[in-house]
Amino acid sequence: MYGFYGPSAIKPRGWIEKQLRIQADGLSGNLDRVWRDVRDSKWIGGDAEGWERVPYWLDGFIPLAYLLDDDDMKRRAKRYVDAIIAGQHESGWTCPCTEDEIPTYDTWAVQLISKVLTVWYRCSGDGRIPDVLYRVLKNYHDLLSGGVIKLFDWGKARWFETFVAMDFLYSLRPEPWISGLGRILREQGLDYSGVTDTWVRPLNKWTFHTHIVNIGMMLKSEAVSHRLLGEEYTGVADRLYGILEKYNSTPVATFTGDECLSGLRPVQGTELCSVVELMYSYKWLYAATGDGKWAERLEKCAFNALPGTVSDDMWAHQYDQMSNQISCERFPGRPVFRTNGEEAHLFGLAPNYGCCTADFGQGWPKFVLSSFMSDGDAVENVIPVPSSLDTDRIRVELNTEYPFKNDFIYHVEAKDDVTFRIRIPSFAEDLAVCGEATPGASHLTFDFRAGERREIRVTYNVKPVLRARHHGLYTAERGSLVFSVPVKYEKIMHEYTKGGVERKFPYCDYEYRGVSPWNYAFSDGSLSAREHEIGKFPFSSDEPPVTLTAKMKRINWGLEDGFETVCAAYPESTAPTGPEEEIELFPYGCAKLRMTQIPFAGE
């Protein structure tokens, strides 16, 4: 089992530091100033939402503050943590409700705030937290074991989330009741292995066991729980992932779910919460297995699905993204989504529901914290984004523009005898280390003596490919980046107040109205890559850092029945209706409106 480093050891560099700063200057970095559900939450003595939204927000805001070493953000985070600690009951109960309300309070919030307190301790070293967390979890154990409460609804569906905090607490205080709590949670929790038949044929029906965020979290359930339960890791996630991929996959290592599992149609949505929760699950699954497929899925999700559903400046986000998304305008009647509303694909403050507003901020910070992991006596660079690691054993500085370019310079200084590893993705070709060809390696391993310094240069090529999808559609890929036909758009801004919540620039809502052709098919399989400079926004809608050029022809694609702003799930005809054109494909994360799953002309 790999170990994780915190923001005292890992720091962002290069383009990803810029991305974190954009986030800090955008919506996630300012929710406590502009959004009532965080600003006036019951968690800090206000009268607004007192359940998941503040913990969700802190789960990303805290590591963001410490990765950027931003004193103002640290102070603002501490204000919330101080209020949460001050509100803890003598019994240990921490959530903002009365004693009489506890039996009917959905304890998903207990599970989530426990994880947040663990994140705060790992970032800040706050000495109060071990005792606070002990009392939270001991109270949870006593309430559950005594029959005062039972898991239901969200707490039942997300029982495994508690293990992040429990595992941490057990490492400090290995008391038997902690593993006993784990057994109670599993016994009362939802067993997803028993409901996979409902994933095969998605319905327009809302259920906990097909809810896409629950499923995104669930994939790591065995990875986070097996040690505390004293069990061998068996790889349940591989089987469950296989079923989800077969019946509900997207090209960007996510699953459709708008809001519950939605099948393979490229016009179904994927809820943003599920994107960041999948990223976190992929991190844990790599830590549990060391299997590179989980790291590659993490990259694919982070480099495509996350930026593809958030505005360049990170002040606006969608609730649902689609892989074939030609316009994001309010639906005048029934939405194309299975269980979400008419505004779920708009960019804004809190389209559809506010859970994603609070939760999406964990994506980038926790991704950066996946860059390096420990494996026994070895240190591994798992995700090769520009970053540094500084521990009592080793210092590593990585200079790169990956995934846009595939050149890496490592400056390594060993403070002790140490093994340093670099994970190499499966799509790397012509791998060279310091100019020497090194074919076929999945990892590069270097043994260092204390005091030794070395520069390691790694290069490889990544070939653009067309990857077959379902129903005769294909996607263009280059390594972890997926590419799309970008659709130009005009933005229609909406400022208004509804339910006491103000939408005012820059935290207002937008419709993105498509204004350029989108009905293309590949005319042949040739793709060529062009690399550009990284501009103000790494995932810029106007100046992408890498593009692919493809030969394409327009076809009579058609619109989804009953809709004017949704392309048909599958083209009406692939017969060409125009001459061959050279089309510049943008990274999925840059193309906010896009066509990603595309046929060949004439097939």
Burial of 114 (0-12, 13-18, 19+ CB in 10 A): buried
The average pLDDT across 541-550 equals 98
β-pairing, 418-423 vs 378-381, is parallel
Residue 356 domain-assigned (yes or no): no
Residue-wise pLDDT for 115-148, tens only, equals: 999 999 999 999 999 999 999 999 999 999 999 9
For residue 437, give the CATH number of its domain: 2.60.40
Q: Are residues 521 and 453 part of one domain?
A: no
Residue 31 domain-assigned (yes or no): no
Q: Are residues 532 and 446 part of one domain?
A: no
DSSP type of residue 30: G
List, in sequence order, every residue forming a beta bridge with 554; answer none if it has no partner. 520
Residue 320 domain-assigned (yes or no): no
pLDDT at 452 over 80: yes
Burial of 286 (0-12, 13-18, 19+ CB in 10 A): buried
pLDDT at 445 over 90: yes
The average pLDDT across 543-564 equals 97
Residue 572 domain-assigned (yes or no): yes
For the packed helices 129-145 and 163-172, what is the interaxial angle rounded to 10 degrees? 120
pLDDT at 499 over 90: no
Residue 441 domain-assigned (yes or no): yes
Q: Are residues 485 and 454 part of one domain?
A: no
Please report the pLDDT score of residue 603 as a whole number: 72
- Mean pLDDT estimate for the chain: 97
Structural domains in the chain (count): 2
Tokens of 31: 């929710």
The average pLDDT across 289-308 equals 98
Burial of 196 (0-12, 13-18, 19+ CB in 10 A): middle
Please report the pLDDT score of residue 380 as a whole number: 98
Residue 178 domain-assigned (yes or no): no
pLDDT at 441 over 90: no
Q: Are residues 487 and 584 part of one domain?
A: yes
Phi/psi at 401 (5° precision): -120, 25
pLDDT at 225 over 80: yes
Q: Are residues 545 and 456 part of one domain?
A: no
Residue 389 domain-assigned (yes or no): yes
Residue 218 domain-assigned (yes or no): no
Please report the pLDDT score of residue 495 as a whole number: 97
For the chain, the 3-state helix, strand and coil shares in percent, each to the nearest 5, are: 35, 25, 40
Provide the 3-class DSSP secondary structure of residue 150. coil
Share of the chain above pLDDT 90, in %: 98
CA proximity to 586, closest of 577, 578, 595: 595
Cis peptide bond upstream of 506, omega within 30:
yes
Say if CB 582 and CB 457 are below 8 A apart.
no
Q: Are residues 451 and 568 part of one domain?
A: no
The whole-angstrom separation of Cα 310 and Cα 313 is 8
Residue-wise pLDDT for 57-101, tens only, equals: 999 999 999 999 999 999 999 999 999 999 999 999 999 999 899
Q: Which of 439, 461, 483 is the last residue of a domain?
A: 461
Residue-wise pLDDT for 365-409, tens only, equals: 999 999 999 999 999 999 999 999 999 999 999 999 999 999 999
Q: Are residues 542 and 577 part of one domain?
A: yes
Say if CB 356 and CB 319 are below 8 A apart.
yes
Please report the pLDDT score of residue 440 as a whole number: 83
Vertex 331: Cα angle to 328 and 334 (nearest 5): 135
Please report the pLDDT score of residue 444 as a whole number: 97
**Domain around 415:** 373-400+407-461
Tokens of 19: 């991305």
Q: Are residues 514 and 455 part of one domain?
A: no
The whole-angstrom separation of Cα 313 and Cα 346 is 15
Minimum mean pLDDT range among 176-185, 242-251, 433-442: 433-442
Q: Are residues 506 and 589 part of one domain?
A: yes
Q: Which of 461, 480, 504 is the last residue of a domain?
A: 461
Q: Are residues 449 and 489 part of one domain?
A: no
Q: Are residues 457 and 393 part of one domain?
A: yes
Q: Which of 438, 461, 484 is the last residue of a domain?
A: 461
- In this prediction the pTM is 0.98
pLDDT at 568 over 90: yes
